[in-house]
Chain A
């Protein structure tokens, strides 16, 4: 696809830089009139300054682990970089890229934004569903605000003094209800949450942007239809892709629209930028290596001319995108971050999985250059598998990639119904893929012995509805999945020591007698099934959770590493929290003997489990 792009346009591909390691461009900040671009290299833990004209890296500096997002300070001298695995935010001198200060925080920071007065910094904390607020004068964290589920992008809209936070995962909802996500809105003056924009039927909130006057905002979203059986993939209607239109000040619900076409989807909407004149916006669709150009005027017209009561239906309308989409531009592999220069003439696209930056002329919507940051084809199995994982090319009509339901290698918090065991039967909670290596067998039924089997032919038959991958590709894909790291656990002490509560919880987890001294049968002890370094035994058990739509009674023993992040719980996602596993869904004590626990003991056990 990259070659096609280069051939189709008179692209000016530049020399690859010293490629000490893969960059994995994750975030872009244009400088000045776009002559240079700052690039966060997620995989190299580096920030680069790229000269667009020459295609050379003119400076670079190390960051902490996994730089994720960045923002500028209003003084123009400083910038802030969130480092997700590094659990800190770096304040950098914008000229030297040297670290001025480092703000540590509990959890993994995602999007960042500075308040209009330059006194505060807002940072999403994905793993704790919070927004951390820092006082930039003292450098100390002053509060945590409640976000949605997995805050992602954080953006100040200065005209109305609001900070908008998208959320990656769905807000808690019963498993039989359509998903919804929220955009959290903070009053920049008070640094308090003042509004939550609920996007019904939406999930995977990513990038967000506003026109200069603040009258219109666009947020990238997906719209999974997880309540219908996956057989509907073949009808072209399970995961749809698009954006939400925000109209601040109009007291109107966000309008959701798609960029898909009836027979062609544009999977994994990721980032949004709007031209300075507000006439166009661009949406990167990471799963199909495409950037979509949308005419804002046509978009407004489409919305304005909607008949009364029809707007909610537009959210699922596959035939509308032709009205406002003006170009679909092929770019590199897995385009995520977007940025546009100050005068709006050039759009920069970070192609995360082939280490290139695509430059697009916004007047013509044509690629004018593709700049390599390193080796564009890394050749190793994991890298190739990572591309397969993030590509929707092998899904029927490109509706979704593996990453659509496993964003960032994790999970989407939803439940799905695969039809091999009957339509409408056995809906299953989507499982977290992070640190999944060595936790086979897979599937809640435990019927797939390894990842290669799990991701092999059955995936093509029951999920993607295509010819899917050849055996070599499946091996590559499995290699990547095995490589996905666990997230940083905010409940774990940095020194690895258990807290007092966690220690008490561990004792309970390993106990062999009830509180009154009665021996607990071995098979009813926690650590009988949840054994070993990842707390699972690879077997299936009846823990009394068979539901009315289940045809089976025994389910795979879940591994417990980083169980804190993978709510909801149990095979069908019925337990919203860890506590509910025992307080609500263990009436007969089949999922461990819990009836004699005190509340204090349950709390201790939950603390222990969260720290695993």
Chain B
């Protein structure tokens, strides 16, 4: 039985065959952590953004840039608006990087920082949690509404409760999705702006309840929205502190950590959500999820052993578990970015890089570890409960 399951899993992981999935996430079986000992200015890494050739990470003590060879840090002395960097976005057109900080917005262009604050520009507020750049516009999500900066026109427009249906003005995240711009509003749900129609629309939790979702899939799962992203098919992914919602323009699907299948959403407390190759990737306070909304994959660090646990929860089959030798340094994850075959995570204890299993990695910077996969036996429900503190009592099969 066990052998059969492992074969199925291996097929899924390495061949992407045999499992009726709409998409298959890569399996990251080897991880490396970067922290202050490597040159990071702090282990509190709030965001990460990978380009083809570089990785940028924002911490509570400045920025750090990895060019594949060395780490270089940037702080206010270099022109960064503030040492605390909350989000990073790249202008797909110009390649310029934009940083959301707790002291304004900084643009990094050709080695030069330009800073926009509430004092020297039209930025609405210096406490900037998120931003998105597309179509020649920068949208900054701030603690006092949102600002839109039209780069070519050098023009700022401010959005708050006076000119939008922004129930609260505490904006946490922004995402560009074609013609639409979405704002994640803490306590105010999700706001949608149509660039062509210049109209706003708000999406709120229909039941307005804090701890429960009264009617399933009736709308946004919760008004405390922390993150928003969209995928290539136009599905909007909304992370809240009380679960995950997706919206395809017609239907909402909501996910909470106590929903079946077991091993689905690993925590309702979502810090960040993004999409990649048709999958949603969710950074929570208790690990990392990937999902196509039917099937779920979970990456967690075993705090006792420091080893990694990968859980696969098929829609109609028992959960599977794999142990891997290395994993990210902490389950509190703030950010996710992808770089070729690799995944980068911003965590509360450092920056992590994961390599997909198929990849033959050759790098002198890596620890001297072979491509070794430790495949653990499927774990009993109690073991999972002990490990994760969750109620994994449904559908988990014993291997005994």
Q: Determine whether the beta carbon of B120 is less than 8 Å from that of A144.
A: no
Contacts of A366 in B (CB 8 A): none
Question: A143 to B136, alpha carbons, bound, how many Å?
Answer: 7
Q: Determine whether the beta carbon of B96 is less than 8 Å from that of A599.
A: no
Contact of A195 among B111, B155, B163 (CB under 8 A): B111
Q: Contact string, B144-161, partner A, CB cutoff 8 A, digits 1/0?
A: 100000011111111010
Interface residues of A in 436-470 (CB under 8 A from B): none
Residue in A130, A145, A195 with the greatest tally of chain B CB atoms within 10 Å: A145
Is A184 part of the contact surface with B, judged by Cβ < 8 Å? yes
Q: Determine whether the beta carbon of A603 is less than 8 Å from that of B158.
A: yes
Contacts of B112 in A (CB 8 A): 146, 182, 196
Contacts of A130 in B (CB 8 A): 151-152
Residue of A whose beta carbon sits closest to that of B158: A600
Contact of A143 among B93, B107, B160 (CB under 8 A): B93
Question: A602 to B107, alpha carbons, bound, how many Å?
Answer: 22
Closest beta carbon of chain B to A515's beta carbon, Å: 12
| Total interface residues in chain B, CB < 8 Å | 30
Q: Determine whether the beta carbon of A196 is less than 8 Å from that of B152.
A: no
Closest beta carbon of chain B to A165's beta carbon, Å: 10
Is A548 part of the contact surface with B, judged by Cβ < 8 Å? no
Residue of B whose beta carbon sits closest to that of A172: B114
Q: Determine whether the beta carbon of B120 is less than 8 Å from that of A576.
A: yes
Q: Determine whether the beta carbon of A194 is less than 8 Å from that of B110.
A: yes
Q: Determine whether the beta carbon of B158 is less than 8 Å from that of A146.
A: no
Interface residues of A in 116-142 (CB under 8 A from B): 128, 130, 141-142
Stretch at the interface among A17-25, A80-88, A579-587: A579-587
Is A518 part of the contact surface with B, judged by Cβ < 8 Å? no
Contacts of B114 in A (CB 8 A): 146
Closest beta carbon of chain B to A24's beta carbon, Å: 30
Is A168 part of the contact surface with B, judged by Cβ < 8 Å? no
Given contacts A579-B121, A583-B119, contact A142 B153 (CB under 8 A): no
Is B363 part of the contact surface with A, judged by Cβ < 8 Å? no
Contact of A190 among B95, B119, B152, B163 (CB under 8 A): B95
Contact of B94 among A192, A195, A600, A602 (CB under 8 A): A192
Contacts of A128 in B (CB 8 A): 152, 154
Question: A581 to B98, alpha carbons, bound, how many Å?
Answer: 26
Residue of A whose beta carbon sits closest to that of B163: A600
Q: Determine whether the beta carbon of B94 is less than 8 Å from that of A143.
A: yes
Q: Determine whether the beta carbon of B109 is less than 8 Å from that of A146.
A: yes
Is A577 part of the contact surface with B, judged by Cβ < 8 Å? yes
Is B305 part of the contact surface with A, judged by Cβ < 8 Å? no
Q: Determine whether the beta carbon of B120 is less than 8 Å from that of A142.
A: no
Is A286 part of the contact surface with B, judged by Cβ < 8 Å? no
Given contacts A144-B136, A145-B94, A600-B162, contact A193 B109 (CB under 8 A): yes
Residue of A whose beta carbon sits closest to that of B154: A128
Closest beta carbon of chain B to A196's beta carbon, Å: 4
Contact of B118 among A190, A195, A599 (CB under 8 A): A599
Q: Determine whether the beta carbon of A193 is less than 8 Å from that of B95.
A: yes
Given contacts A106-B152, A182-B112, contact A193 B96 (CB under 8 A): yes
Closest beta carbon of chain A to B103's beta carbon, Å: 14
Question: A602 to B136, alpha carbons, bound, how many Å?
Answer: 23
Contact of B119 among A146, A192, A579 (CB under 8 A): A579
Is B271 part of the contact surface with A, judged by Cβ < 8 Å? no
Closest beta carbon of chain B to A180's beta carbon, Å: 11
Residue in A106, A195, A577 with the greatest tally of chain B CB atoms within 10 Å: A577
Is A41 part of the contact surface with B, judged by Cβ < 8 Å? no
Is A339 part of the contact surface with B, judged by Cβ < 8 Å? no
Q: Contact string, A539-575, partner B, CB cutoff 8 A, digits 1/0?
A: 0000000000000000000000000000000000000
Closest beta carbon of chain B to A577's beta carbon, Å: 5
Given contacts A142-B93, A193-B110, contact A599 B153 (CB under 8 A): no
Interface residues of B in 108-156 (CB under 8 A from A): 109-112, 114, 118-122, 124-125, 136, 144, 151-156
Q: Determine whether the beta carbon of A603 is less than 8 Å from that of B156.
A: yes
Question: A130 to B151, alpha carbons, bound, how many Å?
Answer: 9
Closest beta carbon of chain B to A338's beta carbon, Å: 28
Contacts of A94 in B (CB 8 A): none
Question: A192 to B112, alpha carbons, bound, how many Å?
Answer: 13
Question: A494 to B124, alpha carbons, bound, how many Å?
Answer: 28
Q: Contact string, A141-168, partner B, CB cutoff 8 A, digits 1/0?
A: 1111110000000000000000000000
Question: A106 to B155, alpha carbons, bound, how many Å?
Answer: 13
Contacts of A491 in B (CB 8 A): 153-155
Q: Determine whether the beta carbon of B158 is less than 8 Å from that of A599.
A: yes
Given contacts A193-B109, A579-B121, contact A501 B157 (CB under 8 A): yes
Is A238 part of the contact surface with B, judged by Cβ < 8 Å? no
Is A353 part of the contact surface with B, judged by Cβ < 8 Å? no
Residue of A whose beta carbon sits closest to that of B151: A144
Given contacts A195-B111, A599-B144, contact A584 B119 (CB under 8 A): yes
Residue of A whose beta carbon sits closest to that of B118: A599
Residue of B whose beta carbon sits closest to that of A599: B124
Residue in B94, B160, B162, B163 with the greatest tally of chain A CB atoms within 10 Å: B94
Is A607 part of the contact surface with B, judged by Cβ < 8 Å? yes
Contacts of A599 in B (CB 8 A): 118, 122, 124-125, 144, 158
Closest beta carbon of chain A to B316's beta carbon, Å: 47
Q: Contact string, A578-612, partner B, CB cutoff 8 A, digits 1/0?
A: 01100110000000000000011011001100000
Contact of B122 among A184, A193, A606 (CB under 8 A): A606
Residue of A whose beta carbon sits closest to that of B123: A599
Contacts of A194 in B (CB 8 A): 110
Closest beta carbon of chain A to B51's beta carbon, Å: 11
Is A185 part of the contact surface with B, judged by Cβ < 8 Å? yes
Question: A194 to B112, alpha carbons, bound, how many Å?
Answer: 10
Question: A110 to B173, alpha carbons, bound, how many Å?
Answer: 38
Interface residues of B in 342-368 (CB under 8 A from A): none
Question: A585 to B120, alpha carbons, bound, how many Å?
Answer: 11
Question: A602 to B156, alpha carbons, bound, how many Å?
Answer: 11
Closest beta carbon of chain A to B54's beta carbon, Å: 12
Interface residues of A in 482-507 (CB under 8 A from B): 490-491, 501
Question: A579 to B121, alpha carbons, bound, how many Å?
Answer: 6
Question: A252 to B48, alpha carbons, bound, how many Å?
Answer: 31
Question: A600 to B163, alpha carbons, bound, how many Å?
Answer: 10
Question: A490 to B156, alpha carbons, bound, how many Å?
Answer: 15
Contact of A577 among B93, B96, B121 (CB under 8 A): B121
Given contacts A600-B158, A603-B158, contact A580 B107 (CB under 8 A): no
Can you give 27 contacting A-B residue pairs, CB < 8 Å?
A128-B152, A143-B94, A144-B94, A144-B136, A146-B151, A185-B110, A190-B95, A193-B94, A193-B109, A196-B109, A196-B110, A196-B111, A196-B112, A491-B153, A501-B157, A576-B120, A577-B120, A577-B121, A579-B119, A579-B120, A579-B121, A584-B120, A599-B144, A600-B162, A600-B163, A602-B122, A603-B157
A106-B153, A580-B119, A600-B162 known; 4 new pairs, CB 8 Å cut-off, are A130-B151, A142-B93, A192-B95, A576-B120
- 8 smallest CB-CB distances across A and B, nearest first, come from A193-B110, A192-B95, A583-B119, A144-B152, A143-B93, A603-B122, A196-B110, A577-B120
Q: Which residues of chain A have a CB within 8 Å of any CB of chain B? A: 106, 128, 130, 141-146, 182, 184-185, 190, 192-196, 490-491, 501, 576-577, 579-580, 583-584, 599-600, 602-603, 606-607
